[in-house]
Amino acid sequence: MTRILLLIAASSLTLTACQSATSRYMASSTEVKRAIVEYEITGLPYNDAADAISEATRRTVRRVNIQRNLGSADLPTAPGRIELVDPFAGTNMSGFAALAGAGALQMAHCPDARLVITATDDTWTPHGESAQYTNCLWEYEGGLRFATYSAYTEQRGMSMEQLVRQAAEPLLGDSQALIERSHAEILARLASQGAQVSEVSRRES
């Protein structure tokens, strides 16, 4: 069905593209939207919560890497938090990255988290869209703290593939909807295991 809709959109764009010899020089843009949401989890042991989050992420995202770390002998009194770091900071690559437009590149880091999941949905990468996720779970004296970071990248007007995707967007939606679906799946899976989940904070760009 998706392929058929894209073919329809491509057909509608072909005539327009051919009418302009300068269409390949259309202005292009790249936009990145980021969000960090933190939740408090109670009523569920750490291992069950970690399994629920891992399985829900696998069900909704194409490429997933799961890292389970050893817990400390003594639980910390306060939960950890996601930190956004510049991977090029302090390296010889920082200047080249800035020239390439990657100066604002940020990666999520989860210090002392027992569960760290990094995932990428590249379904629409050929059409200028991608979604990256980092899901982290901390165990501390007060319970469990779950934090999720998402970054949605969208490129516009750079190629015929992207123009086709943009034309089909009203019918197909975009990769940003996949982020929302992944979050909803995780929360639903935790609730089905008997957990009480409450949102602690939300930061969005």
pLDDT digits (tens, 9 = 90+) for 84-129: 988 766 666 555 555 544 445 788 999 999 999 999 877 655 666 7
The two beta strands, 107-109 and 83-85, are: antiparallel
Q: Which residue has the tokens 């302009």?
A: 20
Tokens representing residue 50 in the block: 């970690």
Banded model confidence at residue 141, pLDDT cuts 50, 70, 90: very high
User: Tell me, what's the pLDDT at 5?
Assistant: 35
pLDDT value of position 107? 87
Contact 56, 185 (CB under 8 A): yes
Q: What is the pLDDT of residue 49?
A: 98
More confident residue, 63 or 130: 63
pLDDT band at 45 (very low <50, low <70, confident <90, very high): very high
Percent of the chain whose pLDDT exceeds 70: 65
Among all chains, which residue has been given the structure tokens 């400390």?
72
